[in-house]
Amino acid sequence: MSAPVVIIGTGLAGYNLAKEFRKLDAETPLLLITADDGRSYSKPMLSTGFGKDKDADGLSMAEPGAMADQLKNTEVRTHTRVSGIDPGHKRLWLGEEAVEYRDLVLAWGAETVRVPIAGDGADAVFPLNDLEDYARFRTAAAGKRRVLILGAGLIGCEFANDLTAGGYEVEIVAPCEQVMPTLLPAAAASAVQAGLESLGVRLHLGPVLNRLERNGETLDAHLSDGTVVPCDLVLSAVGLRPRIDLASAAGLQVNRGVVVDRELRTSHANIYALGDCAEVDGLNLLYVMPLMGCARALAQTLAGKPTAVSYGVMPVMVKTPVCPLVVAPPPLGKHGQWTTEGQGGDIRALCHGTEGELLGYALTGTYVAEKMALNKQLPALLP
Ligand SMILES: Cc1cc2nc3c(=O)[nH]c(=O)nc-3n(C[C@H](O)[C@H](O)[C@H](O)COP(=O)(O)OP(=O)(O)OC[C@H]3O[C@@H](n4cnc5c(N)ncnc54)[C@H](O)[C@@H]3O)c2cc1C
């Protein structure tokens, strides 16, 4: 039997690539390998689960067996971690076991950044970047009331909104001056912050969590500014780091992510990457829209028709319903001038370049309705 196309990872990148490939090639065997339980789910839904009262089973869309049946001529190996890649012999390692591939696709995502936390409560800190993390956090949160979130980025703010909708009291601690500092200009950040505060969320912007100590049934979070925040558990949303270690060890070029060209090829023949782990022509975008475009293009390439990916305009809808928000950050390396209009929860912030061209925007509240019109004026991210 000929060697399969092997995809490492069954997140949105891995499964969507497999589906797109099957539309073009019904014959070539597919092998999907995943370190997790292989259930298909939509990761963006994780930060809506408490408000909708859905546990991990409720957010799961299909078991791995059902995915394999649907994809046909496909095996999904779950709870199986790839431990090494041997590009010279077109094989990879699962511990002692060698698996040969025709083509190999890295869709192994990004891992959560973990900050070291002192104190005897450190085991009550939960990172959350996949369905299994969500299941663990939900189990730990059952019957509890107060959640401290580490990080005021997109994920931290979404969970703050969602956990309050699920009946929790939420505080956020983050060493920055505003929420979503890498995404939003100050006025839009203030609108989101005010929205979260209107739900009762308390923000500690500036300090970090120094120590987490058990105090009977609860925890005391000692912040670096001397504040002590009583809480029942801690959700860590301090950031993600693309997985590059195995690729680097195999001699593939890596930078922030696994470096690939517009055809999603790594520096080694027959090895490709997409999704959170991939740096496509210099862009490492940890969102769904880019990976969907990559899945369609790479499916064509794997089916024998080399195809370059292009990215159009990619605005991000942030799931903070208390303050509707859509943001299209300026393209990498382009620096413009932000101007802001509006007040309170309704902010229109536009970023213009030196020629007066629109480079990006952040819209909150009623201004979100302008997104379609503005998208038409924005430059494509990878034309
Ligand atoms: C809470 C949350 C909300 C989000 N909301 C949005 C949103 O609203 N809009 C948006 O565009 N984006 C959103 N994102 C980002 C988006 O969901 C991700 O960009 C996307 O899901 C990444 O998919 P992926 O397949 O690349 O990685 P992952 O889903 O992380 O999948 C990685 C896979 O690789 C496997 N794996 C890793 N290492 C190994 C190994 N060594 N061996 C075998 N298998 C391995 C894992 O088990 C897993 O199956 C959100 C992210 C989070 C966390």
Q: Is 47 in the pocket of ligand 1 (CB under 6 A)?
A: yes
Tell me, in angstroms, the distance from the centre of ligand 1 to residue 131's CA.
9
Q: Which of 16, 20, 40, 43 to mutate to test the pocket of ligand 1 (most atoms within 8 A of CB)?
A: 43
Tell me, in angstroms, the distance from the centre of ligand 1 to residue 89's CA.
29
Question: Given this model, what pLDDT does residue 63 score?
Answer: 98
Tell me, in angstroms, the distance from the centre of ligand 1 to residue 223's CA.
30
| Atom 48 (ligand 1) nearest CA | 9
Question: Given this model, what pLDDT does residue 333 score?
Answer: 84
Measured from the Cα of 82, ligand 1's closest atom is 42
Per-residue pLDDT of 292-325, as tens digits, reads 999 999 999 999 999 999 999 999 999 999 999 9
Fold of 5-110+240-302: FAD/NAD(P)-binding domain (3.50.50)
Burial class (CB in 10 A: 0-12, 13-18, 19+), 283: middle
Express the helix, strand and coil content of the chain in percent, nearest 5 each: 30, 30, 40
**Which residues of the chain register pLDDT less than 70?**
1
Per-residue pLDDT of 241-272, as tens digits, reads 999 999 999 999 999 999 999 999 999 999 99
Q: Is 276 in the pocket of ligand 1 (CB under 6 A)?
A: yes
Q: Is 241 in the pocket of ligand 1 (CB under 6 A)?
A: no
Look at domain 324-375 and name its CATH class. alpha beta
Residue 179 makes CB contacts below 8 A (sequence gap 6+) with: 152, 153, 156, 157, 172, 189, 192, 193, 196, 203, 205
Residue 134 near residue 59 (C-beta atoms within 8 A): yes
Question: Given this model, what pLDDT does residue 334 score?
Answer: 87
Residues facing 228 on adjacent strands? 222
Q: Is the dihedral of CA 60, 64, 66, 71 positive or negative?
A: positive
User: Is the backbone of residue 81 left (phi > 0), alpha (psi -120 to 50) or beta?
Assistant: beta
Q: Is 133 in the pocket of ligand 1 (CB under 6 A)?
A: no
Residue 250 makes CB contacts below 8 A (sequence gap 6+) with: 84, 85, 86, 87, 268
Tokens of 46: 């994780």
Cα dihedral angle (37, 40, 43, 45), rounded to 10 degrees?
-120
One fold for both 5-110+240-302 and 114-236? yes
Burial class (CB in 10 A: 0-12, 13-18, 19+), 81: middle
Q: Is 93 in the pocket of ligand 1 (CB under 6 A)?
A: no
285: nearest Cα among 263, 316, 254 = 316
Q: Residues of 60-80 as b/e, b for ≥16 C-beta within 10 angstroms?
A: beeebeebbeebeebebbbeb
Q: Is 290 in the pocket of ligand 1 (CB under 6 A)?
A: no
Q: What is the DSSP letter of 102?
A: S
Q: Is 109 in the pocket of ligand 1 (CB under 6 A)?
A: yes
Question: Given this model, what pLDDT does residue 161 score?
Answer: 98
Residues facing 296 on adjacent strands? none
Distance CA 308, CA 321 (A): 36
Query: Which string of DSSP letters, residue by residue, matches 109-175?
Result: -EEE-----BSTTGGGEEE-SSHHHHHHHHHHHTT--EEEEE--SHHHHHHHHHHHHTT-EEEEEES
Measured from the Cα of 36, ligand 1's closest atom is 47
How do the domains of the chain map onto residue ranges?
A: 5-110+240-302, 114-236, 324-375
Question: Given this model, what pLDDT does residue 40 score?
Answer: 98
Question: Given this model, what pLDDT does residue 335 score?
Answer: 86
Measured from the Cα of 290, ligand 1's closest atom is 11
Tell me, in angstroms, the distance from the centre of ligand 1 to residue 69's CA.
23
Tokens of 258: 């696994």
Half-sphere exposure of 52 (CA within 13 A, CB side): 13
pTM of this structure: 0.97
Look at domain 114-236 and name its CATH class. alpha beta
314: nearest Cα among 242, 238, 383 = 383
Q: Is the dihedral of CA 183, 188, 190, 194 positive or negative?
A: negative
Question: Given this model, what pLDDT does residue 96 score?
Answer: 97
Tell me the angle at which helices 186-198 and 154-165 cross, rounded to the nearest 10 degrees. Answer: 20
Question: Given this model, what pLDDT does residue 1 score?
Answer: 66
Question: Given this model, what pLDDT does residue 332 score?
Answer: 83
Residue 155 near residue 45 (C-beta atoms within 8 A): no
Tokens of 246: 């195995």
| Atom 7 (ligand 1) nearest CA | 44
Tell me, in angstroms, the distance from the centre of ligand 1 to residue 348's CA.
30
Distance CA 125, CA 334 (A): 37
